[in-house]
């Protein structure tokens, strides 16, 4: 047996009210983006000897005899940053969320945001990390690991971090 609803103008008003109520009341409030909940696990806290603040690293691809590259994810909490360091074969950074900075020694600090790609040249002293008010997630790619992976140096001072140059 088929059932038919009476289709009157009141029927359409009722349907419109129900649909608008679902749109208004059925949705949860907008969520703030939590940069620490990226597509990869947060990882292990990086050592204080290499980072200022809280930075978490997660390895994605380890170097082996076939792929002489290392790939990983780093999550920097707001204000966290790496020490000054170099990479014998260079490094590529892909910013996947948040905002932060990258600086090559002697050059102005660069602002980074989601979608930015940075090429760190071989053996060039640099640092990178989150802005004071936002975390930052980055993928890092280190090629040609047979040349070495990273040489850690001194911490980035608060004055260097705050500097516009």
pLDDT digits (tens, 9 = 90+) for 58-90: 999 998 888 899 999 999 999 999 999 999 999
Q: How far apart are CA 163 and CA 159, in angstroms?
A: 6
pLDDT of residue 115: 96
Q: Confidence band (pLDDT; 50, 70, 90) for 36? A: low
Measured CA to CA in angstroms, residue 52 lies from 7, 15, 129 at distances of 67, 57, 9
Which of these, 145, 134, 47, 35, lies nearest to 87 by C-alpha position?
145
pLDDT digits (tens, 9 = 90+) for 124-165: 999 999 999 999 999 999 999 999 999 999 999 999 999 986
Query: What is the C-alpha radius of gyration for the chain, rounded to an integer number of angstroms?
Result: 24
Quote the Cα angle for 147-148-149, to 5°: 135
Quote the Cα angle for 50-141-151, to 5°: 35
Q: How far apart are CA 159 and CA 136, in angstroms?
A: 20
Structural domains in the chain, sorted by start = 44-162 (2.60.120.10)
pLDDT digits (tens, 9 = 90+) for 91-115: 999 999 999 999 999 999 999 999 9
């Amino acid at each position: 047996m088929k059932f038919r609803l009476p289709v009157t103008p009141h029927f359409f008003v009722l349907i419109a009210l129900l649909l608008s109520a679902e749109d208004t009341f059925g949705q949860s409030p907008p969520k703030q983006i939590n940069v620490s909940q990226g597509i990869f696990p947060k990882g292990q806290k990086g050592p204080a000897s290499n980072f200022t603040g809280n930075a978490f690293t997660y390895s994605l691809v380890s170097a082996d005899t076939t792929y002489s590259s290392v790939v990983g994810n780093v999550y920097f909490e707001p204000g966290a940053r790496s020490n000054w360091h170099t990479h014998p074969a260079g490094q590529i950074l892909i910013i996947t969320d948040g905002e932060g900075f990258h600086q090559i020694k002697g050059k102005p600090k660069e602002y980074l945001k989601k979608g930015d790609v940075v090429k760190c040249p071989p053996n060039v002293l640099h640092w990178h990390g989150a802005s004071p008010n936002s975390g930052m997630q980055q993928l890092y790619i280190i090629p040609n690991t047979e040349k070495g992976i990273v040489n850690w140096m001194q911490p980035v001072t608060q004055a260097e971090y705050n500097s516009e140059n």
